[in-house]
Structures are given as structure tokens and as C-alpha cells.
Structure 1
């Protein structure tokens, strides 16, 4: 089989590593890939839907996996399906559950999915009037894709007014912020629940805990994720039962009612407040860095799981009872301005963990940084503490200029 994997982050490295265990796969291609994927197949320069479609047709690709959200929102699945190319992911209509927070919030409201109370605005004046009489804190979300950064918790009217102006007038996230969702602030702990969707049923994976803030103690700016733990130590069987009843089951009903026909992934970003699960957001693809810990625990053959999904078969997902931790090492300045091009050293000294590259590429025999989230250090253990010790021991051996990482991943 020939497989095409679209994306270049740690998520795609984890998927590629898992798929590389299958001897039926003869060739893997990556668009655009990274330093990990270069050792598993061939990295490609393509990124447009048309270029990827033409490549898949030319090379007779048997199966395409889409990692990031942008090509999904841009309709890559629809385009591939027009040409009878097998692809795993949501159609453009289904991807709107991630690509438009306004669409997804209305979907949640229409189908009785437990979520924060919210109002949707495409008028700056009306939104600004609304926040004048709202209790605080409140949350303002850019409706469109903003690389995980278009969510602001506002403690007062001044911050809310400034945020609305930045999103809707200054357009710091382009068109993503011309429509906003203003919602009540929920307080509790978050959990990531990722489920395979076979067109009829959802099959959840083990839960994960994502560390979104840049600093220790969950302080500082939001990021794409500074680390993950699976299973989430806080998310109990009781929480899962509540999630199934009040989020998963009505989501399945809504998808069927709206005829959002697809096979792929549904990511549920959940917040637990007073032992009740609230849905914060949908992502219609694997999360990053949640995928890294889920793949470390998944005992099934991933190609078989995906194939069974595409065939509409029921899944019997099996996960190790071990604990998994992923630590993200970043470029100094991330998630703000940062410099790239620094060599990553010490890779030969890693003893206990898998190193999955994200923002790194191979140049002249060296691995160098090329983005903000540079690499992932992933390990498993019988306990969280054992996995944590492995990850941090190996992280100390790795070095590139201005590298940093959180010191509290997996510390409870």
C-alpha cells in the first residue's frame, strides 16, 4: 500500500510511527512532513488541495490521512472523493463543526448538548453592547480558525471591549474573528476525548489531559499544547458516563439529522464543572499533542482501525493500562516571536523515550528547528511518575539554543 499523510507536526510523526509498524505499507509520503517523517518515507513540497489531489492520482495513493484542520475546512475530503481517492476525514460541511465556532455552538444548542450559555455576533456594535451588561469573567471566541489562539478569558469589561476590537475591527486573526461567540465562563478541569467515527457510531479512545498554557502552573499565554498525559487522571468512569449521555449521544443524533456524512475523527474538548461535563469545542481531527499519548497506548493495528472505520464496521479499541506522557520542547519566545535554524543536539543520548519531531527539519545531515513547537518527548510507565521520570531525564539530554519546556507535565 501507498499512504499519504498530510501535515508536519508531532501528531503526524506519531501517526506515521504507528502506521510504519504495518508491513502492508510499502511507501509513505508526507506533505510537508518533518525530520521524523523524512526517515519513514518521502517528504513532499505540496500543500494546496489541487497539488495533493494530483499527486495522489499520479502516484495511485491507496489511502490518505489528514492531520491538520485547514485542509479539512478547505474541502480536501470532498475533492479526493470526487476522484475516488480513499481518504480519512470529515467533508467540508462536517469540518464546519471545527471551522466555525458559531456553527458548532448553534449545533450544540439545537441538539441539547450540555455547553456554556452563549450568544453569537457578527456585529461589533451589538457584541460590544452585550458585554456591557454581562457578568464577568466571560469568554470571547473568534468563530473561525485561529491556530488555537482565538479564545480569550476576559476578567472585566475593558478586556472584553479590547478583545472584541482586536478580533472584529483590527482583525488580528483575519476573517476568523469577524464573527464571535461570547459565552459564560466555566471553571473546572479540561479533558480531551477523541473518538473514531465510522459514519454511524463513535468509538472513544482513552481520555487525555492537555496542558495549554505556556508556563508552569498553567500560567501565561495559550499555546497549541505544551504536553499531554493519558489517561487523564481526573476523568473518571462517572465523568465518562455523563459525557456519553449529555455530549456524545446528542452529538451522534445531530450528525445524523444534519446528514453530515463522513468517516474520521471527532475530538471533544470537555470541561468538567461540579462533576458535570460541558462541551467546549469540537475538533474534527486528531489533537496535537493528544495523539502522541493515545498512539503510545493504542494496542490495535492503526491501519486496521482506519480501514474498519471506512468500511463502516464496529471497532473494538484496545489500550494499554500503562500511563503515557508527552513533553513538548519549544523555541524561546513561543507562542510569540521566535527564531529558527538551531541545531538539535543530544538525540543519541535519549534512553527511555521516543522523540517525535514537529517543528524540525533535516538539513545537510543535521536536525534543525523550523517552528515554535519543536519536538515531543514521549514515554510510558506503569505509573505517571515512572513515565514522567523517563520523559524529563531524556529531555535534559536534548539541546538547541533557547529551548524551553514546562516542568510540571504529569505532576499532580
Structure 2
């Protein structure tokens, strides 16, 4: 089969790495790909949002299955367009992807379907939002309604911080269209975890739970990022909790979307938090999480292509998982998630043992691999337990990365 992966980040590199193991795959194409993906797939210079170009390429190359990594093409209707062209794609259509594209819609959907989540209110008027914040007090969470590259969530510790967040979003237009509406939520306390599932209609097949680290610096300090590292499985998440989340969150979401005329096909991601009142939903994503994918897929025993095909055919893929742990630590450009420099040359990287590298913001030049994004790569490793996997990942970083142009957290998975 000819497989086409849309995207350029670590999540897509991880998918390509797993798909390359399949005996059913003849050719893997990626658009636009990155410096690591280009070593195992044929990268084509088509932007993720150039849907006409992607469809044209898929037709010319007789693509059998297209898989979409990032969220922006989903909200642009890429799945709808591929379906109209008679092509097979594993991704939700635009009206289903709204579960990620609008936090306002997602919260209302959770409320309608009786899912456990934080109390909230949504606003387009800054003054009304500020009045609500003053009434509720702090800590409190302010979220831009739309997509904001993982940076549209402010966990405000004071009322003034929350008011400043509202001003940035609704008055100063810091997130453009994404911040024209805000959702303000109660601040929940507890350990977070992510549970992703392969979904087609009302069929839901959950993966293993993972946990990522959003803050830029050690001890969960600094600004929120797209994720500075992750590990799987999150073994403190009990089988009873996983069963509850599968039944009362993922299955309810799939059923509710089907009933409302928005049937979901693709990866449904539930961002969860374990509170004193039980697990509650923080957010939904309509695609593989990043960097969770990079530590979940290496533990999957199944042929990933066969999983996609089985799910699309309405079959149970019978997911099997390695009895191991996997840790991934993100190497980021100095300054991320603020301004940073691209084009910094990466050193020669040597793999050994159970370690692996997933490229995110990189590109290949005649001088070698250079940085091309805030999150540059993920150093990962598998091990018999979490401690072994984590130490292996950090040992690789210590031996291979010695540059003041990059940084990484030193405590990913280490305080568990």
C-alpha cells in the first residue's frame, strides 16, 4: 500500500517510524515532513493547509490511505475534501474536529452529554468576563476558544493575572481569531493524564494512558508549552479509572457526536485530571497528542497500518502493548515558547540500546540537520520500568547534546 502522512512534527515522525515497520507498506510519503522523516519517507514540499495540492498529489501517487497529524488541516476540512474526492483518509471531518477547534463548543458538548468536567462560563465581552473572574476568585483558568498552538491556556494564580489574560485575548487580540471568545473554568487540582483512542463512529479502542509535562522549566515552572516531555504508561492510573474514562468520556463522546450528526473517525484524545471527586475532562483533541504519541506508539505491538485499516472496516484491532515503559524528553530551542533562532546545526547523533530520536522542528540541509522550530526533537527510550527508560533517555542527551542554543527539562518522569 501507498501511505500518505500529513504533517511536519514529532507526532508525524513517530507515526512514520511505526508505519515503516509494516510489511503491508510499499511507499510512505509525507507532506511536508521534516529532517528525520526524510530518512524513512519521501517528503514532498506541500503545506499541510494546501488541501488542493495534497489531493492532487494523493491522486497522482495512487495513495491508499492518508493520515493527518496536526489539527489545523482538520479544522480546514481536509477529511471532507478527501472524502469528496473518493479517497480514504483516517481523520475526522470538520464538524467533528470542532471538539478540539472550539473549547466553547467542547464544554457545551460535555455538559449536554453529562461528562465530568470543570464548571465554566464563556464570554466574548471582556467586562463581563472580568466580573465573572472577580466573583469566582483565583486560582482560575482562562482559555482562548480556538486553536492557539498550545499557548492559549492561562492557569491564573491571582485575579489580576486572570484579568490580564482576558485583556490579552479579548482586547489586545493576542491570539487573533482563536481568542475572540474565551472560556473561563474552575481550576482543578490533581494529576493529569492523557488517554487516546482509535475511533470510528461509535467504535472506541483506547490506547494506554500517558502523561506529558507542559511547563517549560523544571518543577513545572515557567510558561505553558506544547509539551516538554512525556512518558507511558502512566501506571498510577488504575484499571478502574481507565474503564471509567473509556465508558463515561470517550464512548460518551463518540456516541454523542454520532447522535448529533457529527460522527467521529480518527484519534480522539481525552486530556484528563484525577481530582478528589474522580477523573474529569480538561479538554479533547481530535488527533494524536504531541509528545504523547512519541512514547505511546513505541509500545504498540500491532502493525499500525493494520490498526488503521481494521478500525475503518469496523473491526476490533485487538490492541496489544509491550510490558515496558517509555520516556521522551523534548530538546527545545533557547527562548521557546517565546522567540528563538532557527537554523542551528544539530550534532551528529548516535543511537544505542533502546534509545531513539524523534525529529520535530528540524530540516535537512547540505550542511546537515538544522533546527526549524521551538521543539526540535525528542530523545526517547524504552525500558523494563519507568526509571530505566528515563535514565536511558537522559544518558543519550548528556552524551549527544552539548549546545547553549538548546535546553531541556531535567525532571521529566523523574518525580513519579
Calculate the TM-score normalised by the size of structure 1.
0.97
- Residues 239 and 275 of structure 1 are in contact (CA less than 8 Å); yes or no, is this contact kept in structure 2? no
User: Out of 404, 407, 410, which is 1:407 matched to?
Assistant: 410
Tell me, yes or no, if structure 1 residue 46 matches structure 2 residue 49.
Answer: no
Report which stretch shifted further, 185-194 or 34-43: 34-43
Distance 1:288 1:260 in 2: 24
Maintained 8 Å contact 1:226/1:328: yes
**C-alpha separation in 2, matches of 1:331 and 1:278:** 33
Q: Which moved more, 1:368-377 or 1:69-78?
A: 368-377
Q: Could you tell me how far 1:249 is from its partner in structure 2?
A: 3.5
Q: CA deviation at 1:386?
A: 0.9
Give the deviation of 1:200 after TM superposition. Answer: 2.0
Question: In structure 2, what is the Cα distance between the partners aligned to 1:99 and 1:349?
Answer: 38
CA distance, structure 2, for counterparts of residue 273 and residue 386 of structure 1: 29
Task: Say which of 175, 183, 186 aligns to 1:184.
Answer: 186
SS for the counterpart of 2:17 is helix
Structure 1 stretches of at least 4 aligned residues deviating more than 6 Å after TM superposition = none
Is the 1:198–1:314 contact (alpha carbons within 8 Å) kept by the matching residues of 2? no
**In the aligned structure 2, how far is the partner of 1:408 from the partner of 1:217?**
7
Deviation, structure 1 residue 315: 2.4
For residues 349 and 397 of structure 1, the distance between their equivalents in structure 2, rounded to whole angstroms, comes to 10
2:154: which partner in 1? 152
Q: Is the 8 A contact 2:354 2:383 kept in 1?
A: no
Residues 348-387 of structure 1 correspond to what in structure 2 (within 5 A)? 348=350, 350-387=352-389
Q: Are residue 30 (structure 1) and residue 33 (structure 2) matched?
A: no
Match of 1:116 in 2: 118
Q: Deviations over 1:113-150 (max 9, x none)?
A: 00000011122232222222112211110000000110
- After superposition, the C-alpha distances for 1:259-313 in whole angstroms (9 at most, x for unaligned) are 2223211000001101611001000100011001111100000000000111111
Alignment match, 1:331: 333
Which residue in the other structure is 2:271 paired with? Answer: 269
Does the aligned pair in 2 maintain the 1:264–1:309 contact within 8 Å?
no
Q: For residue 375 of structure 1, report the CA deviation from its aligned partner.
A: 0.7
Gaps in structure 2 of 5+ consecutive residues: none
Question: What displacement does 1:156 show?
Answer: 2.3
Report how many residues are paired: 412
- 248-257 or 1-10, larger mean C-alpha shift: 248-257
Indicate the residue corresponding to 2:60 in structure 1.
58
TM-score (norm 2): 0.96
* 1:350 CA drift (Å): 4.8
Confirm or deny that 1:8 pairs with 2:11: no
Tell me, which stretches of 5 or more residues in structure 1 are unaligned? none
Query: Secondary structure of the equivalent of 1:46?
Result: coil
Q: Is the 8 A contact 1:115 1:280 kept in 2?
A: yes
8 A contact 1:330–1:373 mirrored in 2: yes
> Structure 1 residues 321 and 81 mapped into 2: Cα distance closer, same or farther (>3 Å)?
same
Q: CA deviation at 1:245?
A: 4.1
